[in-house]
């Protein structure tokens, strides 16, 4: 952690608050510092420690912070005994109900639900189908996978829009560069290409074209 701390600080020069998030079952306290000393020189690095096993389930359930939901998911399988599929099904459905009760955005629901599905596994794969069937009842037939697909579709749409914007930007650059090489005035290029005058001037400075007198 100290190595990453000084590398990040050296590269970005920003203040850093570091957390060690521990997912072990034990509630035993863990060290929150690292020290190195040699020939009269000593350095001590302190960081925050967050233990999943020490968090209150009641407080996590009441919190509207999405991170609390992630902690609750991770904490749910911390048990002194091995949980069978029946117990895991009950836990998974309970957490899913709580997840959809929170007024999170579709993006946050997508991320947390993906984490939930990947973190809590069933030994018998058939229970995955049973879980999916129960989801229909929890969401009132607003298919959970439908929400996931909706988020993916929105992401794809945003990607397409960014692609169109990038394509238009490239087209504008090419048009402006070609006109600059023909030694047209900045004002005329801005008018013909339908771009701001400042944009033409910026491209001119980048490619090193001399301004027409």
pLDDT band at 212 (very low <50, low <70, confident <90, very high): very low
DSSP letter at 39 equals T
SS3 of 43, please? strand
How large is the average pLDDT for residues 186-201?
A: 83
pLDDT of residue 44: 94
How large is the average pLDDT for residues 46-66?
A: 86
Cα–chain-centroid distance for residue 113?
A: 13
In whole angstroms, how far apart are CA 124 and each of 69, 91, 127? 25, 16, 6
CA-wise closest residue to 93 among 122, 125, 123: 122
CA-wise closest residue to 115 among 79, 158, 72: 72
Is the pLDDT assigned to residue 37 strictly greater than 90? yes
pTM summary value:
0.50
**pLDDT tens sequence across 120-177:** 777 777 777 777 777 767 666 554 455 555 555 555 555 555 665 666 777 778 888 8
**pLDDT tens sequence across 13-36:** 889 999 998 888 887 888 899 999
């Amino acid at each position: 952690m100290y190595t990453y701390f000084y590398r990040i600080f050296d590269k970005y020069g920003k203040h850093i608050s570091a957390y060690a998030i521990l997912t072990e079952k034990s509630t035993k306290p863990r060290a929150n510092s690292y020290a190195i000393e040699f020939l009269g020189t000593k350095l001590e690095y302190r960081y925050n420690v967050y233990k999943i096993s020490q968090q209150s389930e009641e407080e996590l359930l009441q919190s509207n912070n999405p991170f609390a939901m992630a902690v609750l998911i991770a904490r749910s399988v911390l048990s002194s005994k091995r949980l069978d599929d029946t117990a895991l099904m009950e836990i998974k459905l309970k957490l899913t109900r709580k997840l959809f009760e929170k007024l999170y955005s579709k993006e946050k629901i997508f991320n947390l639900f993906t984490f939930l599905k990947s973190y809590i596994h069933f030994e018998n794969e058939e229970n995955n189908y049973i879980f999916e069937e129960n989801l229909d009842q929890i969401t009132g037939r607003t298919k959970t996978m439908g929400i996931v697909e909706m988020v993916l579709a929105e992401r794809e749409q945003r990607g397409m829009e960014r692609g169109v914007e990038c394509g238009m930007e490239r087209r504008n650059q090419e048009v402006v560069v070609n006109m600059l090489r023909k030694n047209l005035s900045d004002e005329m290029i801005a008018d013909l290409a339908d771009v701001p005058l400042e944009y033409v001037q910026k491209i001119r400075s980048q490619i090193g074209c001399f301004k027409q007198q």
